[in-house]
Structure 1
Amino acid sequence: MKKYNKLIASIAIAVTLCYLLYSFTAKRDITNNSSWVQLFNGKNLDNWTVKIHHYEVGDNFGDTFRVEDGILKVRYDKYEGDFNSRYGHLYYDEPFSSYHLAVEYRFVDGWYETAPEYTMLNSGIMFHSQDPRTMPKEQDWPISVELQLLAGITEGVPRPTGNMCSPGTDVVFEGQVDPRHCIESTSDTYPVGEWVRAELIVHGDSLVTHIIKGKKVLEYTKPQIGGGVANGYDEKIKIDGTPLKKGFIALQSEGQAIDFRKVEIKVLEEGD
């Protein structure tokens, strides 16, 4: 029996060491800027955390965020009644400071009709976000900067994607803090169903560049806490003027169905 117990203990130690080695290797790979690291593994939502307005962190109400056929999907088919501002975000569990992020997305049919009209064919990527575990149940938007994603609604009417929106934040655009909640990019307009590659190059609290299909479409500097739009936050978190040097990355749900087939990152060294 003693030999058996020692054997079990040895196996347990070996398994623990393998897990720690794997964890160390995974983190080391993310911090290696020589190649892309996949944040979405194409199989499940491991290493991601959900926060939906009116629900506790970790509650993926209505299976809003799900993985099917290798695609990370945002859907509302299990919702009932009024949308009731159930804005949601799916956060990768590690914060980043300076990096190159790329997301491949497409809008699909499936707008929840009682969501606000502005959410039609509208989604986003939040970055430099607060930790979702610091968000009260009734906070609607994370204090963050957003790479806004849009698709065309009316034929012939421009609706660029890759814009900047700023819930609870400010940025410096063309030399001054811009009072607008959203700043429009110079991108083309893309239809429902078309896969689009959107990229962010973020240098801490200095320069941020938006790229759509390989073309630079917007640039600004000095992301910082400030502004309005976000509600229900812990006031100890929102200290206006605080530079945003790092934060979490999150995919958005705000009433519009959308697919993501790739979320990948290169962490940048100083001077890259």
Structure 2
Amino acid sequence: MKNLNQILAITVLLFTFYCCKENKENSIEPTKKETWIKLFNGKNLEGWTPKINGHKLGDNYKNTFIVEDDVLKVSYKNYDSFNNAFGHLFYKKPYSNYKFRMDYRFTGEQVLGGKPWAFKNSGVMIHCEDPKNMGLQQNFPVSIEVQLLGGNDTDARSTGNLCTPGTHVFYKDSLVTEHIIQSSSKTFHGEQWVNLEIEVRNDSIIKHFINGENVLSYTKPHIGGAVNYNQDIWKLKENQPLKGGYISLQSESHPIEFKNIELLEL
């Protein structure tokens, strides 16, 4: 009887061991939590520096970029006329492999003197050149622009497009030298909030997402095309891959608001 009890005890122990082992092997590992960094604190422009055409780096001309109610705004309240004051608000650090996301919406009326094509037009510039190297009269940084467009209540007008100031990319495995590639997004009229996400993988692939939908993908961003400043220098860099750079938000004459600005390093 004693031996039988010992055998039963050993059997129970072995059964428990194998059951636990099998359950452990079949269990699903918990998903690693993504750690998104807040690039905008909702209170002020800490970490961000403006560069506006015709003005020195750091000069927030006529308070173009302001913060109100946890929202970063492009404002033209103090402008009489736009006067080609194309601006960019640069984040303090360059990045190479990451996801960037935010919400945006166009508001109000375009400022007097804005270009017709700049109606409800703005953008997020990625892989930007160092803003310290930009010229006083330089309209746009050499970069990849994720173009943001709002609807005019009538026409189809996609957002999350690609513009290429001083750059080229490959789209559908072919080199594209045209300045704009349109996305497949729908049109967003009025002043509704729209969610943008950008996935950036160095100089390999870049993807644009609007409200969670992949609307554009392209590869091999590199230097190329016209630049209105330091042309000789950029010509020498032509065809060099763009592996990283700064991120900036654009001001192009139409009021726009940004919030929930975050980044995930990959």
TM score, norm. by length of structure 1: 0.83
Secondary structure of residue in 2 paired with 1:227: coil
Tell me what 1:149 maps to.
148
Which 4+ stretches in 1 moved above 6 angstroms? none
Tell me what 2:63 maps to.
63
- Pick the structure with greater CA Rg: 2
Q: Distance in 1 between matches of 2:232 and 2:135?
A: 11
* Uncovered stretches (5+) of structure 2, i.e. residues with no partner: 1-31
Matches within 5 A, 1:119-130: 119-130=118-129
- Whether 1:137 and 2:136 are equivalent positions in the alignment is yes
Tell me what 1:168 maps to.
166
Tell me what 2:206 maps to.
208
Tell me what 1:85 maps to.
84
Kindly indicate whether the alpha-carbon contact (under 8 Å) linking 1:166 and 1:182 is maintained by their aligned counterparts in 2.
yes
Amino acid at match of 1:139: Q
Tell me what 1:159 maps to.
157
How big is the shift at 1:237? 4.7
How big is the shift at 1:234? 6.2
Tell me what 2:245 maps to.
247
Kindly indicate whether the alpha-carbon contact (under 8 Å) linking 2:223 and 2:234 is maintained by their aligned counterparts in 1.
no
* Uncovered stretches (5+) of structure 1, i.e. residues with no partner: 1-31
Deviations 1:104-150 (A, max 9, x none): 10110131121110000010000000011110111111000000000
Q: Distance in 1 between matches of 2:60 and 2:238?
A: 30
Root-mean-square deviation (CA), in Å? Answer: 1.5
Q: Distance in 1 between matches of 2:230 and 2:70?
A: 34
- Aligned match for 1:227, one of 225, 228, 246: 225
Q: Distance in 1 between matches of 2:175 and 2:77?
A: 40
Q: Distance in 2 between matches of 1:192 and 1:242?
A: 40
* Aligned CA distance change for structure 1 residues 33 and 147 (closer, same or farther; 3 Å): farther
Kindly indicate whether the alpha-carbon contact (under 8 Å) linking 2:143 and 2:164 is maintained by their aligned counterparts in 1.
yes
Tell me what 2:19 maps to.
none
How big is the shift at 1:192? 2.4
Secondary structure of residue in 1 paired with 2:240: coil
Tell me what 1:99 maps to.
98
Kindly indicate whether the alpha-carbon contact (under 8 Å) linking 2:153 and 2:190 is maintained by their aligned counterparts in 1.
no
How big is the shift at 1:154? 3.6
- Aligned match for 1:197, one of 195, 198, 206: 195
Amino acid at match of 1:126: M
Amino acid at match of 1:135: M
Tell me what 2:36 maps to.
36
Q: Distance in 1 between matches of 2:260 and 2:225?
A: 31
Q: Distance in 1 between matches of 2:198 and 2:35?
A: 16
Kindly indicate whether the alpha-carbon contact (under 8 Å) linking 1:101 and 1:265 is maintained by their aligned counterparts in 2.
yes
How big is the shift at 1:33? 8.2
Amino acid at match of 1:173: Y
Q: Distance in 2 between matches of 1:263 and 1:257?
A: 17
Q: Distance in 1 between matches of 2:131 and 2:217?
A: 26
Amino acid at match of 1:161: T
Aligned length: 234
Kindly indicate whether the alpha-carbon contact (under 8 Å) linking 1:135 and 1:234 is maintained by their aligned counterparts in 2.
no
Kindly indicate whether the alpha-carbon contact (under 8 Å) linking 1:202 and 1:209 is maintained by their aligned counterparts in 2.
yes
